[in-house]
Amino acid sequence: MRRLIISISAMKKCIWCEKEESFIQTFNRKAHTFPQSLNGVNVCENVCDLCNLYFGSKAESLPSIELVLKEAFHLSQYILLLATNQNKNKRYTSEFFKLNFKSKTITSKFKYSILSNFQLMLGRQFRRGVYKIYLEERERQVGDALEQRFNFIRQFARYNVGDYPVFYHKPKFKVLPFSLPDIKNPTIRFTEYSHLMDKEYRIFDYQIMGYKYVIPTSMQYEIIIEPYLKKIQLEDDPFGTTLIQIKELIDIDFMYLFMNDFNNY
Ligand SMILES: [Zn+2]
């Protein structure tokens, strides 16, 4: 006879819906923080199967958050791996974009280009995805994602309520700082620096695919951005001292056109 033993300490609680593990609330599927399609290898244990499924599913005729993250970062990943000769014999395929490597142009695929606000909707899904990655990685590395102050992230990323910004540093030089292992298996890290930024500025900034992204870690973001901007301008941040707010997905130069002479692909 099989006996079922559940220890209290092993009981999982979902960081999204805040429900505990039970016979109906299962935690069997692996919740990858970065999509597996980008070679994300990190898994957050405290995401229930229903919430995990949500991030990978279409909602209200929108592409899933996971697909938008994959589409957005995959283009950069492909170009960077190609430029460093790590991507031989692999063709670029995309659900959303048609890419012309010779003329370095990117256009929407026809089925999507007929939707006038499609870029705005993609931008929103992308922002929700950036917050999703943040909270799941925070849980995996720090273990405090269930704190009340992150409720706004739960509301926005999981329940599509509210709207919160994602910024990126406008590159200052024609230099693209990136680490090859982080391009192959994208990840974000919580460090002494990130804890300090969280404590003093309520900001998390991190490099993904050569760009530095910035999100507020408090819902009062209006009063947060200005002091942060002053700080990076004073310190002359090598990533750039101007912040661009991402409204549409194409606000991000995923092909690194700013480099101009970045002609290896
Ligand atoms: Zn859940």
Q: Which of 204, 107, 113 is nearest to 165 (CA)?
A: 204
- Rounded to the nearest angstrom, the distance between the alpha carbon of 52 and the centre of ligand 1 is 7
- Which residues are CB-neighbours of 43 under 8 A, at least 6 positions away? 30, 31, 32, 33, 140
Chain centroid to Cα 210, Å, comes to: 13
- Rounded to the nearest angstrom, the distance between the alpha carbon of 25 and the centre of ligand 1 is 8
- Rounded to the nearest angstrom, the distance between the alpha carbon of 45 and the centre of ligand 1 is 11
- Rounded to the nearest angstrom, the distance between the alpha carbon of 174 and the centre of ligand 1 is 42
Instruction: Give per-residue pLDDT as tens, 81-117.
Output: 888 877 666 777 888 878 777 777 777 776 666 666 8
Indicate whether this model's pTM tops 0.75. yes
- Which residues are CB-neighbours of 77 under 8 A, at least 6 positions away? 38, 183, 186, 209
Mean pLDDT of the chain: 88
- Rounded to the nearest angstrom, the distance between the alpha carbon of 121 and the centre of ligand 1 is 24
Strands (DSSP E) found in the chain = 97-100, 105-108, 167-170, 203-208, 211-216, 242-245
| Reported confidence tier of residue 3, pLDDT bands at 50, 70, 90 | low
User: Is-contact 38 74, C-beta < 8 A?
Assistant: yes
DSSP helix/strand/coil, 228 = helix
What is the spatial distance between Cα 138 and Cα 145, in angstroms, rounded to a whole number?
6
User: Is-contact 97 71, C-beta < 8 A?
Assistant: yes
Instruction: Give per-residue pLDDT as tens, 122-176.
Output: 899 999 999 999 999 999 999 999 999 999 999 999 999 999 999 999 888 877 7
